[in-house]
Chains A and B, each alone.
Chain A
Amino acid sequence: MIELQHLEKKYVNETSGEIFYAVKDLSLVFPDGKITALLGPSGCGKTTTLRMINRLIEPTGGQILLDGQDIMAQRPEDLRRQIGYVIQQIGLFPHLSVVQNVATVPDLLGRPRAQTRERARELLELVGLEPGQFADKHPHELSGGQAQRVGVARALAADPPVLLMDEPFGALDPLARDKLQEAFLDIQRRLQKTIVLVTHDIDEALRLGDRVALLTGGELAQFGTPNDLVRHPESEFVRQFLGEDALLRQLAGLTAAQLAQPGDATGLPQISGTLNVRSALSVMLGQRSDALAVLDAHGQVQGVLTWQALEEAG
C-alpha cells in the first residue's frame, strides 16, 4: 500500500522569489493490487507525484509511506530497485539485447545470471513476446508496441510489488495502444500488482483504472472509482474535464461480452464479443435494432446485448 500524506512539492523562482506549487497538500491512498490512475491536464502535478514515489524528485513537504515505512528511510537506489518503472519514452538501453534489458534490475540486485536470464525469458512470454524470437534482438529492431512490452517486462523483472507507469502507452499509435492496454489488463489480472498509472487520456484512465485520482493545479479534484467520477462529479471542473460524453467514454471501457445475457439471438445483427460497448451502441443505432447477437472467438453466439442492459450500465 502506498500512502501519500500532505505531500507537497514547491519550486521557488530564484530571481523573483515567486513560489510555485507543483503538488500541494496531496493525501491519497493507493490500494494494494489495484491500478490507480493519476489523471489530469498537463501541469497538474501527476508526473511530479509519481516521480516522488520513487524519489526521482524529492518532496518539499509531507511524506510517502510504502507499506507503512517512510520511503525517505532508504537509499533512493535501493527503493527504486523494489519499484517497477515504465515511462512514455520507453527508455530501453539501445546497446543491450532485449534479454539484457529485461534483466537490468535483477543484475543490479546481484542475482545469479542464469536465473535472471531464465526469468527474463518467462517475462517476455508473459508480455506476449516469443522469447526465442525476441530475446537476442536489439531495441532498434522492435516496433513501438513491442518495445513497450519489453519495457513492461523489464519493470516486472525483479517481481516488485509496486509499478509506476508514466504515460506508458502515450507514444503508441491508437491500434498498438489498444492492444497493449488489453494485454496489460490481462497481465494485471494475473499478477495483482499495486500500480500507479499517470495519464492525461481520460479513456485510458477510465478503462484501466480501478481508482482514478483527478488532479488539477497540484491538488486533488476527486478520487474514486471511474463510476464515481462519471456519475457523481464533485465539482464543475470534474464534470467539464470528463466531458458531456463521459458516459460514452465509460461504455468504451466495457466489452460486449461483459454485458451479454442469454437470450434468443436469431435474426439479430452480429458483433464480436471483444467489441467495446460504445461501438456496439453505434451498431445498434446504425442497424436500428435494440438487440445484438454477441459472438465469441470461434464465431459462436454467446449471448444477446440488449438496449436495456446498456441503459443499466450507462
Chain B
Amino acid sequence: MTPSTLSPEVKPRRLAAQPDVQLIFWLGGMLMLVACFLPWALLRPNRLAAGVYQNLPVAWMVLGAVLALAVPLSARVLPRIMPLLGGTALALGFYLLGARMTAAMLDQPEIARASASSGLWVWLLGAGIAVYGAGQIGLPERFWSWLAWLWLPVLIVLALTGQLAAWSVLRELDAQQARFLQEVGQHLKLVLTGLGLAVLIGAPLAVWVSRRPRAAEAVLGFANGIQTIPSLALLGLLIAPLGALANALPFLRQLGVSGIGTAPALTALTLYALLPVLRNGLVALRGVSPGALDAARGMGMTDNQRFWRVQLPLALPVWLSGIRQAAVLLVGVASIAQLIGAGGLGYFIFSGLQTAASDLILLGAIPAALLAIGVDALLRGLEVLLTRQWGRA
C-alpha cells in the first residue's frame, strides 16, 4: 500500500511513524480477545460461599472477538475511528456487566450474589488500553477524539436506570448505603484536610527556604525521610506520641486529639503530602526565568511586589502539579486510615478482607480509585487553565 492510495485525512504516515501506538492497540485488542473466552460472571448462593463461573453466550463471544480484532486491524487503516472503537468497547463492557449479572441472578434468591469475573475485568482493561491508545494518536479533529468518552454517558445511564443493580458490589452498596455515604465523606474529609494542612504549612515553608539553599536542603531531607517511612508504620508510630500528648494536655483531648482516630490519621496524611508540596514548590519557585526576575527588580519592584506579581504567578502551574500529586497520594494513603480507626473507604476494604468478602473490598477500592482519578482530573484541569491563560512557553 502506497501513501497515495489513502485519503489525506487518514494520516497514515503519522501512525506509521509511531509503531509504539500500533503496539498499544495490539495489546488492548489481544486482551479483549482473551477476555471473550474467560468467565464473565461468578454466581454464589450467598456472599461468602463458593460459586459457579459462567461464560458469555456464544453470540456475545463472537461479537466481542470481532470487536477485539477490529481494534489492532483498523488502527492501521482508519486511525480516526479508534476513539469511537475504544469508547464503544468500554461501553459494551459496562453494558455486559449489567446484562450478565442480571441474567445470572434470574430466578435466584435475594441472598445469592453475582459478581464480575476475570473476563469482564480483562475486557475493561483491554478496552481501556485501546481508549488510551486512541488518545496517543494525536488526531487533528476534536470531534473524533471526544468519541473516546462515549463510555461515560453509557455508564451513567446504566447506573441511573438500575441496569447494574444485580452486580454484587452494588448489592452490598444497597445494603449499606448510609454507611457508604458516611465513609466517602470521611475519606474526602481526611484527604482535603490533610492536603489543606500540607499546603498551609508547606507553601510558606517552600517560599521561605527557596531563598536559603542550606535550609532548603535540610527541609527537603526531612520531608524525604518521612516519605521513606511506610505509611502503615507511620500511623503506628504516631499512636504513642499523640496519645501521650492528649494525656498530658487535657484541652487537646477535648479537641478530639488521641492516639487513634482522626488526629493521627490527619497528622500522617499531612506529613505525607508535605514532600510533594515542598519539593514542587521549590522547583517551581526556583525555575522562574531569572531574566523576568532581574527585569522585575531592575524596573523598581519591591521584593514583595516581585514575589506576588511575577514569581508566584509564574511558579503556580508547576506548583499545582505537585499539589495534584499530593492529592492523589493522599486518596490512596487515606484508605489505610481505618487501621487506626479513622474510617474512610478503608472501612469497606478491611471489613472485606477480614470476612473474605471480595465484593466489600471492591465497594471500598473502586470508589477510592475513582476518587483519585477525579481529583487528578480536576486539578489537572486547573493547571491547564492557568498555563493556557498565562501562556508559559
Chain B residues whose CB sits within 8 angstroms of the CB of A138 once the complex forms: 390-391
With CB as the reference atom, state the residue of chain B lying closest to A54.
Answer: B298
**In the complex, are the beta carbons of A108 and B299 less than 8 A apart?**
yes
B294: which of A76, A89, A139 is its contact (CB, 8 Å)? Answer: A89
B3 at interface by CB-CB < 8 Å: no
Whether a CB of chain B sits under 8 angstroms from the CB of A228 is no
B294-327 contacts to A (CB < 8 Å): 294-302, 305, 309-310, 313-314
Complex Cα spacing A76 to B299, Å: 10
B392 at the interface (CB under 8 A from A): yes
Chain A residues near B392: list those with CB within 8 A: 94-95, 140
Minimum CB–CB distance from B218 to chain A (whole Å) comes to: 21
Chain B nearest CB, measured from A185 CB (Å): 23
Knowing A140-B392, A140-B393, A141-B391, the reply to whether A81 touches B299 (Cβ < 8 A) is yes
Which chain B positions have C-beta within 8 A of A90?
291, 295
Q: Which residue, B291, B295, B309, B390, has most C-beta atoms of chain A within 10 A?
A: B295
Interface residues of A in 73-112 (CB under 8 A from B): 76-81, 85, 87, 89-95, 104-105, 108
B290 CB within 8 Å of chain A: yes
- Determine whether A56 belongs to the interface, using a CB cutoff of 8 Å to chain B: yes
Residue of B nearest to A91 (CB): B295
Partner of A105, one of B300, B302, B309: B300
Question: Contact: A87 with B291, CB < 8 Å?
Answer: yes
Q: B393–A89 contact, CB under 8 A?
A: no
Number of interface residues of B (CB under 8 A): 24
Interface size on A, residues (CB 8 A): 28
A77 x B289 contact (CB < 8 A): no
Complexed CA–CA distance, A54 and B298 (Å): 7
What chain A residues lie within 8 Å of B393 (beta carbons)?
94, 139-140
Chain A residues near B297 (CB-CB < 8 A): 56, 80
Q: Is the CB of A85 within 8 A of B295?
A: yes
Counting chain A CB atoms within 10 Å of each CB, the highest count among B291, B296, B389, B392 belongs to B291
Query: Whose C-beta in chain A lies nearest to the C-beta of B392?
Result: A94
Indicate if B292 sits at the interface (CB-CB under 8 A): yes
Report whether over half of chain B's contact residues are helix, strand or loop; otherwise say mixed. helix
- In the complex, how many angstroms separate the beta carbon of A47 from the nearest chain B beta carbon? 11
Residue of A nearest to B310 (CB): A93
The 8 Å CB contact of A140, one of B305, B310, B391, is: B391
Contacts of A164 in B (CB 8 A): 298
- Complex alpha-carbon distance, A151 and B313, angstroms: 20
Chain B nearest Cβ from A39, distance in angstroms: 21
A108 and B292 in contact, given A94-B392, A95-B313, A95-B391 (Cβ under 8 angstroms): no
Q: What's the nearest-Cβ distance from chain A to residue B139, in Å?
A: 25
Cross-chain contact A94 with B305 (CB below 8 angstroms): no
Interface string of A146-178 (1 = CB under 8 A from B): 000001001100000000100000000000000
Q: Which residues of A contact B291 (CB under 8 A)?
A: 87, 89-91
A120 to B247, CA, bound (A): 65
**Contacting residues, chain A, for B302 (C-beta < 8 A):** 77
**Residue on A nearest B288 in the bound complex, by CB:** A94
CB < 8 Å neighbour of A108 from B295, B301, B390: B301
Chain B residues whose CB sits within 8 angstroms of the CB of A139 once the complex forms? 391, 393
* Pair B299/A56 contact, Cβ less than 8 Å: no
- Of the listed residues B293, B300, B391, the one surrounded by the most CB atoms of chain A closer than 10 A to its CB is B300
Q: How far is the CA of A81 from the CA of B160 in the complex (A)?
A: 63
Minimal beta-carbon separation of A187 from chain B (angstroms):
19
The interface bits of chain B over 274-294 (1 if a CB of A lies within 8 angstroms of the residue's CB, else 0) are 000000000000000111111
Across the interface, which residues of B come within 8 angstroms of A85, CB to CB?
A: 295, 298-299
Report A-chain residues with C-beta under 8 Å of the C-beta of B295.
85, 87, 89-93, 151
Complex Cα distance, B302 from A108, in Å, reads 10
**With A89-B290, A138-B391 given, is the CB distance from A56 to B300 under 8 Å?**
no
Which partner residue on chain A sits nearest B291 by CB separation?
A89
**Complexed CA–CA distance, A105 and B309 (Å):** 12
**Which A115-141 residues have a C-beta within 8 angstroms of B?**
138-141
Assembled-state Cα–Cα distance A169/B299 (Å): 19
Cα distance, A93 to B312, chains bound together (Å): 12
Residues of A within 8 A of B296 (CB): 91, 93
Since A81-B300, A94-B289, A95-B391 are in contact, a sample of 20 more A-B pairs with Cβ atoms closer than 8 Å, ordered by chain A residue number, is: A77-B300, A77-B302, A80-B298, A80-B299, A80-B300, A81-B299, A85-B298, A87-B291, A87-B294, A87-B295, A87-B298, A89-B290, A92-B295, A93-B296, A93-B309, A94-B292, A94-B392, A108-B299, A108-B300, A108-B305
Report 28 cross-chain contacts, Cβ distance below 8 Å, ordered by A residue: A54-B298, A56-B297, A76-B300, A77-B301, A80-B297, A81-B299, A81-B300, A85-B298, A87-B291, A87-B295, A87-B298, A89-B290, A89-B294, A90-B291, A91-B289, A91-B295, A91-B298, A93-B309, A93-B314, A95-B313, A95-B314, A95-B389, A95-B392, A105-B300, A108-B305, A138-B390, A139-B391, A141-B391
